[in-house]
Structure 1
Amino acid sequence: MAQAGEIAFAFLDWCVVIQSDDPNYLGFFSRLYSRVIIDAPGPEKTIIFQIWTRRHSPFEVPVFVAGDEVHQLWGPAPPADAIRIRVLDHLQQHLTNHFLIHAGAVSRAGMGVLLVGDAFYGKSTLTLELTQRGYGFLTDDMVAINRTDGRVYPSPRSPNIRPSSADHLDLTLPDEPGKIYSNHIFDIEELFPGQMGAAVPIGAVCILSDIETMPQAPGVSSSRLVHFWVENPSPGFLGDLRRLEGTTNLVTRYREDHVYITLSAGDKDSAADRIRALCARHDIRLLGVSTDMGHFPSFSNPSTLTPIPTSQAAIYMLQRLRGDREALLQTMSGGKPTQLFAELAGLIGDAACYTLSVGPLGQMADLIDAIPLPPRDA
C-alpha cells in the first residue's frame, strides 16, 4: 500500500483532515489553508477526506473518500482544483452554524462591508483595492455569517487573484504561487501585513449589479441570466432573439471569432431551450449555452450607489446561498424557506444596504469609502 500523509486545518467550527498518497495534493491544500493549519485534529467536530491516486490504494482504483462516501476518480491524478471543489461541496453540507454567501467582505472601523455579486463582477479585485486602502481583509469569495452572533468571520481560505487583476492593482505576487485554475493563491499577510481582519458585525451590504443586463434593482426581479456563444449571428436572428418570449435585456459582445450574448429570463432553462431552437431555425452555430456561469460586465459605465431595503438585500443574498439549504432548514422548528429569509434579514439588521453598479474600480471604491457605517457595539 502507498504511504499516505495528512494535513489538518480549521474551517470555521470544523476541523478538516486531508489524507493522500500524493504529496502534490497535500501541498496544494497546505498553501490554500496556510493560515489555519493545525498540528493535529482536536476534540472538535472533524471531517476526514481521503484522496487515493494509486491503483494499489485500499480501494484498488483512484478514489476520493468523504466520510462514508467513495467516489472513483477520473484518472490517477485529477487537477488539485477539482479535488478542492469536491472537498468544499461536501464540507458545506455540514456548515449549518453559518450562512455561507457568495460574496467578498472587508472591514472598516470594526464593521464589515459585504460585496455580494456573481462571478466576474470584480469582487476579488474590489476587495483587494479596499484592502490596499487600509480596510481589513475578510474574504474574496465566500462570506460566513454566524447564525448566533451575526458576525462575519474571516475566510479560512487564502485569496486568489487573476494575473490581469494583479496587474491592474499593481501587485507583485509571491514567487511560485499555487493556482486555482489560472488564478494565483497567496497569503494576504504576504502582500498586506497586519491587514487580516477579525470577526465583525455587518455594517453595510453592497449588491453588485450591471445596469446593462439587469436594469431593475437586484432582488426585485426573479429573472436570472442566460449566457450563450454563437458564430456570425444574422440581423434576423438577433431581431427574433430580442422578441424571444420570457426574455429581456439582451446584451451582445463581439469577440474575434464569436459573439457572446447575455439576456435575462424568468425561467432560464426554458429560455435556454428556446435559444437552441432559434439557432437551429436560423442555421446559426451555437457554440455553448450556460445558465450557471457568471456574466462579464464591461466596467465602462459610471458606478452608482443606490440605497435599498434590507428585505431586498436579503432576497438577493439567499439567491447566492452556498452550502446545503435543506440542512439549514432542518435546524429550524418549522423548516420553512421564509424562516431562512427572516433569520438572514434579522442578522443584517440595521446595516446600510445598497446596490453598487459595477464601473471603474476607483469609482466603486470611492463610493464604498463614503458609506457611513454605524458605530461598533461595545
Structure 2
Amino acid sequence: MSCALQRVLRTIFAEIEDFMVIHAGVVERNGRAVILAGPPGAGKTTLVLELLKKGCGFFSDDFCPIHKVTKRVYPFPRSVWVADDSPNKGKKTGRKGKSCIRPDQLPSRVFSKSCRPKCLVCLDPGRNTNSFCELEIGVKSGGAKGFGIDLLGIKNLQLFHHKDGGPSAIVPPQGRQTFGNGQLSDWHIRYPAGQGLTPKIMELLARHEQHIWNVYRGDRIHPDFERDPVLTPIATHEAAFRLLRDLKQEPGFFQNRDTRRYAPGELFMELNSLLEDVSCYQLSAGRLDGMTGLIEELIIDD
C-alpha cells in the first residue's frame, strides 16, 4: 500500500503545473497558513501535532502545495506518521518504526479551504553527523533474485537481507546465489553519503519498480532537542534556496517544455517570487516547548 501511494503521488506531482509542492508541514491560525519546512527528522510532524494542541487547524505534516498564481496554500490532509518504539511498530503500516494517526484522530480540526501564508519557518536540525544513507526496501515475489544481484553490482554498498521475520544478515558478493525467488523479501541497504551513489540507487529502484512494494528511508537526522532553540529572520532568497533541496515534485517537472532542458535559476526565481510577501525564519532545533513557544509568538493574533 505504501509503495502504491508513493507511485500515485509521484504521478500526480509530475503532472501538476499550477502548484509548487514543498516538503513541509502546514497549520492554520486565523485564516493564515504557517509553513514548517525541514529535512526528514527535523521535527516537522512533532511541531505540527503540538501546534494542533494549541488550537491551530491541520493542513498537512508533509506536503505544502502553493498555487503559482494566487500564492495560496492548499490543504493536503493525509494521515500523520509518528515515531513508534513499540514491539509491533510498522507491522500493519508498511513503515518500520512508525505508527499512523488518521486525520479524524488528530487533536484539532482539519482545515478544508486554501489560505494565504503568514510565515515560513525553516527548521535547522544542526549538523548532520550521519555518514551513511540507509533504505528499507520490500521486494515482491519473483523479483528478489534479480534485484539483489543488481544491488551487489554497486560498490561500497552494504546489503542486509531478512526473510520470514528472521534476523538480518549481511550478504557478501559471493552470496548472490542464495537470493530467494518467489517469496516476499525485505532488504536493508546502507551506503556512504557524499560519494554519488544515490543516483545509482534511484535508477536501480526505477528499473525494478514492478517488483518493489515499499521503500522507506531508514537514516534520520538526530537534532539536539535538549538545547534552547533560536528563531532568526532570514531573507526570502535564503529560504527559497533551502526549499530547493527537498521539493516533492520530480526533477523532470522543472524542465523547459519547449527545449526539454533544465532552465538554470528558473525554479529558484519562481520560489523566490512565491515567498516575496511571506516572513521567513530559521528555527534551530531545541526543546519542544521552546520551539512551540517561539512559533506561537509569530502567529499570535494580530
TM-score by length of 1: 0.52
State the 1:360 CA deviation. 1.3
Partners of 1:141 and 1:339 in 2: CA distance: 24
State the 1:372 CA deviation. 5.3
Matches within 5 A, 1:237-256: none
Output the amino acid matched with 1:326.
G
Match of 1:369 among 285, 296, 300: 296
Aligned-residue CA RMSD (Å): 3.3
SS in 2 for 1:321: coil
Question: Which residue of 2 is the match for residue 149 of structure 1?
Answer: 70
SS in 2 for 1:337: coil
Output the amino acid matched with 1:117.
G
State the 1:213 CA deviation. 3.7
Question: Which residue of 1 is the match for residue 93 of structure 2?
Answer: 179
Partners of 2:251 and 2:15 in 1: CA distance: 11
Runs of at least 5 residues in structure 1 that lack an aligned partner in the other structure: 1-79, 166-176, 215-224, 230-264, 273-290
Identity %: 29
SS in 2 for 1:312: helix
Question: Which residue of 1 is the match for residue 162 of structure 2?
Answer: none
Matched, 1:87 2:8: yes
Partners of 2:258 and 2:301 in 1: CA distance: 30
Matches within 5 A, 1:266-277: 268-269=194-195
Matched, 1:319 2:232: no
Question: Which residue of 1 is the match for residue 132 of structure 2?
Answer: 227
Partners of 1:227 and 1:357 in 2: CA distance: 23
Question: Which residue of 1 is the match for residue 264 of structure 2?
Answer: 337
Output the amino acid matched with 2:55.
G
Q: 1:155 to 1:268 in 2, by over 3 A?
A: same
Match of 2:284 among 336, 347, 357: 357
Q: 1:315 to 1:374 in 2, by over 3 A?
A: farther
8 Å CA contact 1:161, 1:185 repeated in 2: yes
Matches within 5 A, 1:132-143: 132-143=53-64
8 Å CA contact 1:107, 1:137 repeated in 2: yes
Partners of 1:92 and 1:361 in 2: CA distance: 32
Partners of 2:66 and 2:258 in 1: CA distance: 17
TM-score by length of 2: 0.64
8 Å CA contact 2:56, 2:108 repeated in 1: no
State the 1:100 CA deviation. 1.3
Q: 1:150 to 1:228 in 2, by over 3 A?
A: closer
Output the amino acid matched with 1:300.
E
State the 1:205 CA deviation. 0.8
Q: 1:91 to 1:111 in 2, by over 3 A?
A: same
Match of 1:158 among 79, 93, 102: 79
Question: Which residue of 2 is the match for residue 348 of structure 1?
Answer: 275
8 Å CA contact 1:131, 1:195 repeated in 2: no
State the 1:198 CA deviation. 2.6
Matched, 1:120 2:35: no
Question: Which residue of 2 is the match for residue 252 of structure 1?
Answer: none
**Could you give the per-residue CA deviations for residues 212-235 of structure 1, whole angstroms, max 9, x where no partner exists?**
449xxxxxxxxxx74369xxxxxx
Any runs of at least 4 consecutive aligned residues in structure 1 with deviations exceeding 6 A, and if so which?
Answer: none
Partners of 1:337 and 1:184 in 2: CA distance: 40
Match of 1:208 among 119, 123, 131: 123
Output the amino acid matched with 1:102.
H
Partners of 2:300 and 2:117 in 1: CA distance: 9
8 Å CA contact 1:204, 1:373 repeated in 2: no
8 Å CA contact 1:227, 1:293 repeated in 2: yes
Partners of 1:155 and 1:184 in 2: CA distance: 19
8 Å CA contact 2:34, 2:119 repeated in 1: yes
Q: 1:371 to 1:121 in 2, by over 3 A?
A: same
8 Å CA contact 1:114, 1:204 repeated in 2: yes
Partners of 2:93 and 2:270 in 1: CA distance: 36
Q: 1:93 to 1:363 in 2, by over 3 A?
A: same
Q: 1:374 to 1:101 in 2, by over 3 A?
A: farther
SS in 1 for 2:73: strand
Partners of 1:364 and 1:299 in 2: CA distance: 9
Q: More relative contact order in 1 or in 2 (CA 8 Å, sep 6+)?
A: 2
SS in 2 for 1:269: coil
SS in 2 for 1:93: helix
Partners of 1:105 and 1:86 in 2: CA distance: 23
Question: Which residue of 1 is the match for residue 25 of structure 2?
Answer: 104
Output the amino acid matched with 1:305.
L
8 Å CA contact 1:178, 1:186 repeated in 2: no
Partners of 2:257 and 2:296 in 1: CA distance: 37
SS in 1 for 2:195: helix
Question: Which residue of 1 is the match for residue 211 of structure 2?
Answer: none
Partners of 1:101 and 1:341 in 2: CA distance: 13
Matched pairs, number? 221
Matched, 1:296 2:211: no
